[in-house]
Amino acid sequence: MLATVGVLAALLAGVLLWWSRPEAQPAPAAAVSPAAHRAAPAGASSPAPGPPAVPAPPTGSASAVLVDVGGKVRRPGVVSLPAGARVIDAIKAAGGVRPGARTGALNLARRVVDGEQILVGVDATPAPALAPGATPGATAPGAAPLDLNTADAAQLDRLPGVGPVLAQRIVDYRTRHGAFRSVEELRQVSGIGAAKFGDLKNLVTV
C-alpha cells in the first residue's frame, strides 16, 4: 500500500514539474519602416540631380517702324507702324486715300521698312537739281506744277518769291491742318497775300 502511494506521489510530482517548466518565447520580428522598403539597395548610387530649369527668355514686343506717308492721303506725315506692317497699313494710318485719288503703281501688300517714304497718287520723281549759278526761287520754264502736299521746304523754296521762311510756313501749315484740298487754301498760310498767291497759283497743284 505504501509503495502504491509513493508511486502516485512520484507521478504527481512529475506532472507538476512538467507543467511548471518555462516555455520558450519566439523572438519578435524586426520592425521594418516604410522608408526601409523604399531605400536603395546597398551599393546602388543615388541618381544625380538634374540641371536646374532655365526660364525662357521674355518675349519682347515688336519694334515699331516710322514711315513718311505723303501725296493724296487725308493726313500726310510720319506714322508709326508695328514691324511687318504693309503699305496698305501705312496708308490707313495716314487717314486713307483722298476721294478720287488712286494708289497708282504702289504695291499695297509690300512690307514697309523703317525710314522710307510712301507717296500716294503722285509722281515720285525728285525735283530737278538747280543749274550752276541758279538761285533758289527760280523755276525752269515749262516745269510741271509743284504738288503742295508732297513738296518739301527745299522744293518750295525754289518757287518765285518764296524764301526758306515762307517755305517752312507752308510745310508747317500742312502738318497742322493736313493735306491741301485746293490751291486756293494756300492763301491761309501766313505771308501769302493776294499778289504772291497770283504769282504762285499756276506753279503749284494738289
**Res 20: pLDDT:** 61
pLDDT tens figures, 73-125: 899 899 999 999 999 999 999 999 988 888 878 889 999 998 888 988 875 54
pLDDT greater than 80 at residue 26? no
- Cα 65 to its chain centre, rounded Å, is 10
Give the CATH number, domain containing residue 171: 1.10.150.320
Poorest-pLDDT segment among 4-18, 105-119, 151-165: 4-18
Residue range(s) defining the domain that contains residue 170: 146-205
Q: Please tell me whether residues 113 and 164 are part of one structural domain.
A: no
Q: Give domain status of residue 104, yes or no.
A: yes
Q: Please tell me whether residues 156 and 197 are part of one structural domain.
A: yes
The average pLDDT across 147-165 equals 86
Q: Give domain status of residue 39, yes or no.
A: no
Q: Give domain status of residue 101, yes or no.
A: yes
Q: Give domain status of residue 31, yes or no.
A: no
Q: Give domain status of residue 88, yes or no.
A: yes
Tell which of 105, 120, 135 closes a domain: 120
Asked if residues 84 and 62 have their Cβ atoms less than 8 Å apart, the reply is: yes
User: What distance in Å separates the CA atoms of residue 66 and residue 100, rounded to the nearest whole number?
Assistant: 27
Q: Give domain status of residue 162, yes or no.
A: yes
Q: Please tell me whether residues 116 and 160 are part of one structural domain.
A: no
Residue 59's pLDDT band (cuts 50, 70, 90): very low
Given phi > 0 = left and psi -120 to 50 = alpha, else beta, which region is 167?
A: alpha
Q: Which of 6-20, 53-67, 139-153 has the highest mean pLDDT?
A: 139-153
Q: Please tell me whether residues 115 and 158 are part of one structural domain.
A: no
Number of domains in the chain: 2
pLDDT greater than 50 at residue 57? no
Q: Give domain status of residue 77, yes or no.
A: yes
Q: Please tell me whether residues 110 and 73 are part of one structural domain.
A: yes
Poorest-pLDDT segment among 45-54, 70-79, 163-172, 181-190: 45-54
Tell which of 120, 138, 160 closes a domain: 120
Poorest-pLDDT segment among 130-134, 167-171, 196-200: 130-134
Given phi > 0 = left and psi -120 to 50 = alpha, else beta, which region is 116?
A: beta
User: What distance in Å separates the CA atoms of residue 67 and residue 93, rounded to the nearest whole number?
Assistant: 10
Of 42 and 163, the structure prediction assigns the larger pLDDT to 163
User: What distance in Å separates the CA atoms of residue 88 and residue 25, rounded to the nearest whole number?
Assistant: 98
SS3 for 40?
A: coil
User: What distance in Å separates the CA atoms of residue 152 and residue 82, rounded to the nearest whole number?
Assistant: 26
User: What distance in Å separates the CA atoms of residue 123 and residue 79, rounded to the nearest whole number?
Assistant: 21
Q: Please tell me whether residues 158 and 196 are part of one structural domain.
A: yes
Q: Give domain status of residue 169, yes or no.
A: yes
pLDDT greater than 70 at residue 136? no
Say which residues have a Cβ less than 8 Å from residue 30's Cβ, sequence separation at least 6.
none
**Res 135: pLDDT:** 45
The average pLDDT across 1-25 equals 63
**Res 63: pLDDT:** 82
